[in-house]
């Protein structure tokens, strides 16, 4: 058995070294590749359009939100998250939502929001059961909304940003070059 590294997925130069520029281009191509369909565009704009105001509540205090300082306080004292994890979740939600609205690196942005949703379910909503608190009769909100978001995230990871996205424009420009 040979211990020599042979990887057919990484282009090698004449010296046998992996061409990192080509590897970076391959990763970029995978991130921006998308369908020419309107369906992921609708999903992306809806999810980004719903998540962005939530993120702006947390970061800037817009739409009746408490702002960054109070959100960090809640995440670290009530949810007992380390400050770096709390800041990371807030950052992922803000940047992920904005990137989704633009359709910029849609797969990565959707993945970021998926991580935030899984974190929200595990730290807050799972203990409240499945249903949202429509009638104010339970202790908190359940996780049904989060499952819908995760389904949208999965579709965007599979399909990309769709027809009206920065990803699509980047892909067209890349194909012309």
Q: In the block, which residue shows the tokens 């608190």?
A: 133
Higher-scoring residue by pLDDT: 5, 111:
111
Q: Which residues does residue 128 pair with via DSSP β-bridges, in sequence order? A: none
Rounded-to-integer distance, Cα 97 and Cα 70, Å:
20
The pLDDT confidence band at residue 3, using thresholds 50, 70 and 90, is: very low
- For residue 83, how far is the Cα from the chain centroid? 20
Q: What are the residue boundaries of the structural domains of the chain, listed by start?
A: 36-176
Mean pLDDT confidence for 19-41:
87
Confidence of residue 23 (pLDDT cuts 50, 70, 90): confident
Q: How confident is the model at residue 25 (pLDDT cuts 50, 70, 90)?
A: confident
**3-class secondary-structure state, position 16:** coil
Distance CA 170, CA 36 (A): 13
Closest Cα partner for 55 from 13, 83, 87, 30?
87
pLDDT exceeds cutoff 90 at 145? yes
54 contacts 93 by C-beta, under 8 angstroms: yes
Average pLDDT, integer, range 123-131: 93
What pLDDT score does 176 carry? 86
Q: What's the rounded Cα separation, in Å, for the pair 127 and 9?
A: 44
Taking residues 13-41, what's their average pLDDT?
81
Could you read off the pLDDT of 62-120 as tens digits, one per residue? 999 999 999 999 999 999 999 999 999 999 999 999 999 999 999 999 999 999 999 99
| pLDDT top residue among 61 and 22 | 61
pLDDT recorded at residue 136: 86
- pTM of the predicted model as reported, rounded to 2 decimal places: 0.83
Q: What is the C-alpha to C-alpha distance for residues 22 and 7, in angstroms, rounded to an integer?
A: 14
Specify the pLDDT at position 38.
Answer: 95
Closest-CA residue to 65 (of 75, 54, 51):
54
Closest CA to 44 of 118, 90, 104: 104
Mean pLDDT, rounded, for 11-28: 70
């Amino acid at each position: 058995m040979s211990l020599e590294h042979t990887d057919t997925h990484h282009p090698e130069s004449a010296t046998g070294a992996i061409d990192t520029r080509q590897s970076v281009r391959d990763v970029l191509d995978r991130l921006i590749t998308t369908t020419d369909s309107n369906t992921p565009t609708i999903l992306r704009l809806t999810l980004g359009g719903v998540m962005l105001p939530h993120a702006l509540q947390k970061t800037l205090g817009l739409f009746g939100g408490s702002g960054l300082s109070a959100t960090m306080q809640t995440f670290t004292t009530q949810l007992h998250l380390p400050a770096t994890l709390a800041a990371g979740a807030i950052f992922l939600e803000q940047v992920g939502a904005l990137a989704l609205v633009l359709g910029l690196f849609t797969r990565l942005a959707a993945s970021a929001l998926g991580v935030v949703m899984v974190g929200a379910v595990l730290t807050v909503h799972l203990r409240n059961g499945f249903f949202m608190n429509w009638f104010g009769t339970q202790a908190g909100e359940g996780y049904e909304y989060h499952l819908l978001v995760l389904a949208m995230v999965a579709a965007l990871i599979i399909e990309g940003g769709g027809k009206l996205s920065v990803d699509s424009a980047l892909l067209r420009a890349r194909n012309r070059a």
